[in-house]
Structure 1
Amino acid sequence: MSPKRTRKPTPKSDGEDSSDSYSDFRHDLKRPRSNSPWNITDNTSADNPPLKIYVLSVKFDATTYQSLVCLVEDCLLRVGKDEHSPATLRRVELSANLEEADVIVTAIRTRPRLERHVNPSLATYMTSLILITDQKSRPIVTAEWLQNSVRSGFLLPCADYAALRDFRKETARLCPDQKQGDVIAPEQLGAPPKPQVFRDPEELVDARDAAALDHTSRYSCQRGSPLSCPNQGLVRELDVIRRCRFVEGEERSVLSYSRAIALTSMAAYPSPITAEKLHSGVAKLPFLGEKILSMIEEYTGAGKIAEAQEAILSSPRFQSLSAFTAIYGIGPHTARKLYALGLRTLEELDRYYEVTPGDASTEAPSHVASDKHYTEEVEAEISIKVGLALRHDFGQLISREEAEEINRVVMEVLASIQEDCKSLIVGGYRRGKPQSNDVDIVITHSDWNSGSKKVKGLSKKLVQVLHERSMFLYFSDLSGFHEHNTLRTHNWDSLEKALTVLCLPSNAGGRRIHRRVDLIFATPEVFWTAVVGWTGSTMFQRDLRLWAKQQKGMKFDSSGISRRRDSKLYFPKSEREVFEILGLAYVHPSLRNADA
């Protein structure tokens, strides 16, 4: 969409909250003035043409987009690092056409999305990921580049604001703060540097990484498990049996069927399993016992497994226990206790817990406001009441777009507490799922050296501010940092986290929907282990820990990697390096769906 000239945003009234708006941004700008001690004037000419900015509106909300457009109006920027530099000014103008622009400002941070929103007839992409149109190279930067340049009055270097973060070097070389006349041809860019940070799961899987994976491996972390597989029907049948064992508390049997789905490569088997392949290939896969093999043989012949379809799905007990365990806060042990009390439906649970569906305000007392501490039993009952009251909200799946919006809002609030934090949405979102049940966000500070001190304690502070802004309802866990558990005396990681129920401001009068949002805070040195651990899936994560212990003599969890014999700690600086330290081939996030 071509940008339109808009009026400046009107000031907010005294009662309005402007903390999340850019509308007052222009009041604090440092612009060259006629009475400035620099004593410089606009010298725009044919030799010094205006700098044209194209603002790609996609992913900017209306207020932010209008503010960015307003920033460009009547703007002069000094070319130079400080006031002692030569007095050169460049006028900044808004470009309505992408092909005429010198710089592209965007909120998009991945190549595939950028390609979707740029007309293919106007742009092609080199391997360097720098936008090329009509043989002219353009840097692609974030909105902060424009905002900070206008605020400082200087044309800032682009490298620190590269929208495509893996290519800061190329962005720096294309930045308009270069001397006039310095034209960089595409062929001069050279080969792109090796990425040092994670690759977004929306990017294509590298064929070389995929070729290193083996679907016959004993460990899920050595196989590629996509969201869907050629044997998805068989996986669903086995998962019914696994869920039955789960609600009945048969943990060893649950693990066996989970391995039948994941560890034995059902989810990663490269072709449909037929009766012919059953004994020649499938039977040789690890951990397949006679019982599971007979079920697979039954499925290849009848297209179903009788125990799953006839004995389990038709069982009233299974139906009740499944409905109970689907409620936030109810595990299989509690579900069986409730069933033993004679409860069979969710409506009966409402009456038992005295809950009104849709109203959780009285069921979730504010821990933040009252600073009360409850026993485990009371906490468990509060969680169940919240889960029952909000089950209709929690039952609505969260789209990728909504997950991104939740992340954006949370990080805007966090920025008011601590600057320079960064986040990554993990969980099913990062594995490529189109919809998720909740949102998991890993947060850290961008300063490797001092970030550890700055990120500690942020969890409670963030929950407090979210509460003050009426976005926070409840948390089921609010834990602080403690040392990485090298001896592994417990399974829970040592990260600071808040497992919350949040409710974002409604849009255009729409109903506010409560969402489960897990906020995980990691110090910079363990950020990437936290990302790998919280990306999942459950079996992939389980096998990663098992591989580290059995094959490498190491301990892995979300809070770090250590060597067991001497407790040496490892601090990877990228996701790929996590796999390298553990001696594994890199597995793309979209290939870590080892669960059903």
Structure 2
Amino acid sequence: MPFKRPAGGDSASDSSESSREGAPKRRRSSSPWNTEESSPEPPTLRVHILSAKIDPHALSELFNLVEGQKGVLKRADTSEPAQNAGATELDLRLELARDVHEADIIVTAVHMRQRLERHMKWEIAKTKAIVSPKWLEDSVKNGRPMPCGDYAALRDLREETAEQCPDQPGSSCDSSHPKSPSSTSVALQSPDPAGTPDPADIEQLTYTSRYCCARASPLVCPNQELVRQLDIIRQSRSLEGEERSMLSYSRAISVIKAYPYVVSLRNLREELPKLPYLGEKLLSMIEEFVKTRQISEAQTIRESSRFQALSAFSAIHGIGPHTARRLHALGLSTVEELERYYDVVPGVTDENTLFTTEADSNESEEAANERSIRVALSLRHDFSRTIPREEVEEINKTVMHELSFVEKGCKSIIVGGYRRGKPESNDVDIVITHTDWTLGSRKVKGLCKRLVQRLYERGLITHVMHLSGFHEHNALRTHHWDSLEKALTVFVLPEDSSRRRVYRRLDLIFAAPEVFWTAVVGWTGSTMFQRDLRLWAKQQKGMKFDSSGISRRHDSKLFFPKTEREVFELLGLAYVHPTLRNADA
């Protein structure tokens, strides 16, 4: 028998409900969070849960979440009840609402307008914040109401949900969604990359899709060792310049990363042949692995001195497969020989390797690349050390603190492997924009060079490998190096007696507000996820996608998504949480 919650207030008659429907929209000044700072406690946030499409156990859990917060005040920095002495900063207090009319927040698993209209009139729905169950879970977990726009249950009500969301005291950015380019700010709230993806989103993804942008690819999959050995072969093909073969292995790896079951002889014969990009050769390798736990070709490649040399060379920033092969052809086989070739002393960078914003604009690309290689060689021991998440966040905080002296009103999101959930990163990628939707593009233009100059003067940036200005999105451009302002730099945190200063690679990417979310999606990765996102846009939607914008191919019409989720919606895709975009090995 389905779980049913006692109404608690059955005295509310149909006539009283109809009278409420005709009532004017509740003023924003009466929002539960629009209170004076001196208020001793936050007002109660009323939550109504629609039981439709929620299984009985999950429904019971949701009710328990609300009841667990009823009358319990939580501080921003602790999970202890506020009745403990000294509680002054109060964040969350919930209670169940008897019906949709009394609710500030409506929680539902319904995602279609027709289904929702069985439970409330559409006119009423447009005056409420209607969110998925994940909003309630995350709000209770964080002890404060999360931005509703990121959890909107219905696409058709996303803007209304963001607008009706209770105000968040102390929020670092505006979570509302601009309704038009005349709006004053851009939405910057993004789902927590460390959080759990919404099951409703995952249900719309299928591991049998030909496009990995429509599959769920976790950081570590059930067949991770198989993926690791196939990736050795992929790396070898890439180092040898065999691009088509490399892409074939990349696609096969992305399929296996999304396969939710451990590969066995049974599903190897019955199901895997039906998956895309797994031809006879790949299937024979997988069978060998299932039987012996290794792939002989991968072992042979890994033991090859040529592979070891090319891999070591290409690990140096600025050295690609072509340069690695050229250096190996000269007789070089170790990094130490590479240092002698480039006349570099490990840990020492002289004036000749310093490449600042004032570098000679007439310098050839070859000379600039050699300069970058020399810097990367001299700092290779630091660059080889992975960066823990805490340090990534500290770097972002330091950069944004310095940026506040250059331009007010900017916001950032850390992208790359950090955003996909990696516990440690090889470098740090930060996408930055301005919150002013109308004037933001003008304020961002040229900001990259100004910030780099300040960071250099402050001793935080020591080298600039690459610095590019802004160019308009070009729907006809064929290469994939986007037109955003960006700086690829070497960064060190300020002096701290408790630690040694470590050189880190830091990429700063600047995007106008209207293309901020395409930049975030593009720079979040992974490589195969982005490749298939571009391919999907072209083949399925007749559109062009890259980090600097979305355009329609037949008339070059530009689209400006206001949230990350809207990027996927514009491309006709189900939303993929950042932690499920790990389509590479």
Give TM-score scaled by structure 1 length: 0.70
**CA, structure 1 residues 524+164, in 2 after alignment: closer, same or farther (shift >3 Å)?**
closer
In the TM superposition, 1:113-124 aligns within 5 A as: none
> How far does residue 350 in structure 1 lie from its aligned partner after superposition?
1.0
Q: Secondary structure at the match of 1:529?
A: helix
**CA, structure 1 residues 302+208, in 2 after alignment: closer, same or farther (shift >3 Å)?**
same
Corresponding residue of 1:14 = none
Corresponding residue of 1:347 = 336
Indicate yes or no: 2:304 matched with 1:304: no
Say whether the 8 Å CA contact 1:367–1:373 is kept in structure 2. Answer: no
Counterpart code for 1:205 = P
Corresponding residue of 1:406 = 395
Of the three residues 468, 486, 490, the one matched with 1:497 is 486
| CA–CA distance in structure 1, aligned partners of residues 285 and 477 of structure 2 | 37
Of the three residues 382, 395, 399, the one matched with 1:393 is 382
Any gaps of 5 or more consecutive residues in structure 1? 1-47, 55-94, 106-124, 142-156, 169-194
Residues 18-73 of structure 1 show CA distances to partners (whole Å, capped at 9, x for unaligned) of: xxxxxxxxxxxxxxxxxxxxxxxxxxxxxx9976799xxxxxxxxxxxxxxxxxxx
**CA, structure 1 residues 415+337, in 2 after alignment: closer, same or farther (shift >3 Å)?**
same
Indicate yes or no: 2:416 matched with 1:430: no
> How far does residue 161 in structure 1 lie from its aligned partner after superposition?
3.0
Q: Secondary structure at the match of 1:161?
A: coil
In the TM superposition, 1:491-570 aligns within 5 A as: 491-508=480-497, 510-570=499-559
Counterpart code for 2:237 = R
In the TM superposition, 1:9-158 aligns within 5 A as: 98-99=82-83, 101-104=87-90, 127=136
Corresponding residue of 1:89 = none
Say whether the 8 Å CA contact 2:339–2:345 is kept in structure 1. Answer: yes
> How far does residue 393 in structure 1 lie from its aligned partner after superposition?
0.4
Q: Secondary structure at the match of 1:278?
A: helix
Give TM-score scaled by structure 2 length: 0.71
In the TM superposition, 1:165-180 aligns within 5 A as: none
Of the three residues 252, 259, 267, the one matched with 2:257 is 267
Say whether the 8 Å CA contact 2:237–2:246 is kept in structure 1. Answer: yes
Q: Secondary structure at the match of 1:245?
A: helix
| CA–CA distance in structure 1, aligned partners of residues 287 and 37 of structure 2 | 74
| CA–CA distance in structure 2, aligned partners of residues 49 and 456 of structure 1 | 37
Corresponding residue of 2:161 = none
> How far does residue 469 in structure 1 lie from its aligned partner after superposition?
0.6
**CA, structure 1 residues 139+332, in 2 after alignment: closer, same or farther (shift >3 Å)?**
closer
Corresponding residue of 1:290 = 280
Task: Between 503-512 and 455-464, report the one with greater CA deviation.
Answer: 503-512
Aligned length: 445
Counterpart code for 2:439 = S
> How far does residue 508 in structure 1 lie from its aligned partner after superposition?
1.6
| CA–CA distance in structure 2, aligned partners of residues 519 and 213 of structure 1 | 32
Any gaps of 5 or more consecutive residues in structure 2? 1-35, 43-77, 92-133, 148-165, 178-186
> How far does residue 366 in structure 1 lie from its aligned partner after superposition?
3.8
Residues 201-230 of structure 1 show CA distances to partners (whole Å, capped at 9, x for unaligned) of: 122111110111100100000000000111
**CA, structure 1 residues 97+210, in 2 after alignment: closer, same or farther (shift >3 Å)?**
closer
| CA–CA distance in structure 1, aligned partners of residues 447 and 279 of structure 2 | 48
| CA–CA distance in structure 1, aligned partners of residues 527 and 141 of structure 2 | 42
Say whether the 8 Å CA contact 2:355–2:465 is kept in structure 1. Answer: no
> How far does residue 252 in structure 1 lie from its aligned partner after superposition?
0.7
Q: Secondary structure at the match of 1:565?
A: coil
| CA–CA distance in structure 1, aligned partners of residues 582 and 145 of structure 2 | 36
Indicate yes or no: 2:209 matched with 1:214: no
Residues 509-547 of structure 1 show CA distances to partners (whole Å, capped at 9, x for unaligned) of: 532111101100000000000000000000000000000
Say whether the 8 Å CA contact 1:532–1:575 is kept in structure 2. Answer: yes
| CA–CA distance in structure 1, aligned partners of residues 521 and 145 of structure 2 | 31
Indicate yes or no: 2:238 matched with 1:242: no
Corresponding residue of 1:331 = 320
Instruction: Quote the RMSD (CA, aligned, Å).
Output: 3.0
* Matched-pair identity in %: 59
> How far does residue 471 in structure 1 lie from its aligned partner after superposition?
1.2
